[in-house]
Structure 1
Amino acid sequence: MQPASLWRWLWTAFNLLQFGFTLLWTAGLISVALLLHALSGGDRRLPLRMAARCWAPGLLGGAGARLEVEGLERVDWSRPHVLVANHQSVIDICALFRAVPVPLHFLLKQEMDRVPFVGWYAKAMGMVFIRRDNRRAATASLRRAATLVRGGAILCIFPEGTRSRDGSVAAFKPGAFQVAIDAGAQVLPVALEGTGAVLPPDGFFRVRPGRIRVRFGAPLPLATDVGPLDRSALAAQARSAVLGLLR
C-alpha cells in the first residue's frame, strides 16, 4: 500500500472512531440533561449550561479543534440579543455554545426536530423550529422566536439559511431580522472562521484538527438618527459587519 493510501485509510478509520464518539457523547449528555430537566420540574438553566460546559467542549476536543474567542467584552450579556452568524458547518453550533457565556437558544430548521436526542433536547430547551417551505408556518415560528427573546433569551440565527460550501457568505435573509425588530433586541453580528475546515459540510464526517475563531462584533441598534431600520436594512448591515469581522 502506498503511503498516501495508507494515510487516507488511517484518517478514515480515525474519523469513524470520532463519529462513534460523537454519537455516544451526544446521546449520553443529552440523556443526562433531559433527566435533570425532568427532575428540576422543567428548569432549563442547568441543561442549557451543560451544552456549553460539557457537550460542546467534548465534541470540539474530540475533533481536535482549538477554539479562540474574541470580542466578548463588546457585549452586555445581561440583555437579550439576536445573534446572527455565518454558517459553514454543523460544528458551528458547538463553537457558539462554548463561546457565548450565557445560555443560548437557536432557531433551527424544522427537519432537526426529527433527529433523535438532538431534536428531543432542542424541544425541551425551548428552541424554535422553522419550516422554510411554508410562509405562514415560518411567520408563526418567527413570532415565537420574538416572544422567546422578549422573555430575556439570547437567540442565534444563521440568516444565510444554509451552510456555505466554499466559505463565502451568502446574502442574509431579511425575515430572520423581524425577530429582533419585534422583540426590540439588538442584533449581534458573529463571525465564525475555520469551522468548515475542521468539519466540512460535504461528505461523511471528514474531521481534521484545526483552529476555530469566534469573533463578536458590536451590537447593531434597531434605529439610526433618521428613524428605525427595516429588516432588509438590518440584514445588509449585519452581513457587512460579519464580513468585516472575517477580514
Structure 2
Amino acid sequence: MRWLHSAIGFAFTLAWTAGWITLALLVRVFSGPQARLPLRMAARCWAPGLLAGAGASLQVEGQARIDWSKPHLFVANHQSVIDICALFRAIPVPLRFLLKEEMKKMPFVGWYAAATGMLFIVRDDRRAGPLLRRQAAAMLARGQSLCLFPEGTRSRSGEVAPFKAGALQSAIDAGVEIVPVALHGAGQVLPAGGFRVRPGTIRLGFGTPLPVRVDGRPVPRQALAEQAQAQVLAMLRDWA
C-alpha cells in the first residue's frame, strides 16, 4: 500500500503546486516589483499544504537568534526537495532561493521562480560564478533574504558534505550576516530519487548568525564556510 500512498501524494503535489503557483502568478501581476505577496503565499499556503500532504510535522528551533528586520544569507544542508517547503515555512520573511538552472524548464515551478526573482546557477560553468555572486550580493544589498545549499547537491546518505566557500562571497560583498540552518528528517520524509513519501518529523534549527566583518575587516569566506558547516553539524549531532 505504500506505493499507493506515494502515488496519491505525487498527484496531490502536482495539483496543489499548479493551483497555488497559478494563483501566485496572477497576484504577481498586481503586486509590484518586490513580489512580497507571492513569496509569502508560498510560505503560508503552498509549503504548509505540501508538508501536511506528506504527513510531515515541522519543528523549528532558534528563531529568536535572528533579527528578522535585516536581510540574511541562509545556508542549509540539503537532504530533500521538501527542504524548500520547510525553509519557506520556518523563515517569517519573504525568501528567495538559489536554484539550479534546470529548474527554469519545469512548468509552474520554473515560472514561479523566475517571476519572483529567484537566482539560477549553471553548474560546472566557472564563468557563471562571478556574475551569480554579483547578482546575489545586489539582492542582499537591496534588503532581500536569500537561501542556498552550499553543499551543491542533495545528500543521499545523510552525511553533510563540505560547504563550498564561493557561495558565501555574496554575503561578504553585501555586508550581511550568514545564518547556518540545519535540517534533519527531510531525507526520511521524501528521500532523494523518485517520489516515496514517508510521514515523519522534520526538524529545522537556526544557528548563531555569522558576521562577515570583524574589526572592520572581511572574514575569509573559507573560514565562514567552515564555521557555518560546523554549526550545522553540531545541531545535527544534538538531534541524533
Distance 2:98 2:63 in 1: 21
Q: How far off its partner does 1:223 sit?
A: 2.9
Deviations, residues 60-118 of structure 1 (Å, cap 9, x unaligned): 00000000000000000110100000000000000000000111110111111111110
CA contact (8 A) 1:27 1:117 kept: yes
In the alignment, the residues of structure 2 paired with residue 222 and residue 104 of structure 1 have an alpha-carbon distance, to the nearest angstrom, of: 20
Amino acid at match of 2:202: I
* Greater C-alpha Rg: 1
Tell me the amino acid that sits aligned with residue 22 of structure 2: S
- Deviation, structure 1 residue 40: 3.1
What is aligned with 2:213?
Answer: 223
- Aligned position for 1:71: 62
In the alignment, structure 1 segments of 5+ residues that lack a partner are: 1-9
Q: 1:206 aligns with which of 189, 196, 213?
A: 196
Find out whether 1:242 has 2:232 as its counterpart.
yes
The residue number in structure 2 matching 1:6 is none
For residues 85-234 of structure 1, the aligned pairs below 5 Å read: 85-202=76-193, 204-225=194-215, 227-234=217-224
1:135 CA displacement: 1.3
Letter of the 2:160 counterpart: V
C-alpha contact (below 8 Å) 1:193/1:212 kept by paired residues:
yes
| Aligned-partner Cα distance in 1 for 2:5–2:181 | 31
Structure 2: give runs of 5+ residues left out of the alignment. none
Q: Is the 8 A contact 2:162 2:229 kept in 1?
A: yes
Equivalent runs, 1:41-60 vs 2, <5 Å = 41-60=32-51
Deviation (angstroms), 1:226: 8.9
TM-score, normalization by structure 1: 0.93
Provide TM-score, normalisation by structure 2. Answer: 0.96
Give the count of matched residue pairs: 237
| Cα root mean square deviation, aligned | 1.2
Matches within 5 A, 1:9-48: 10-48=1-39
Query: Matched residues in 1 for 2:31 and 2:204: separation?
Result: 32
CA distance in 1, matches of 2:30, 2:216: 51
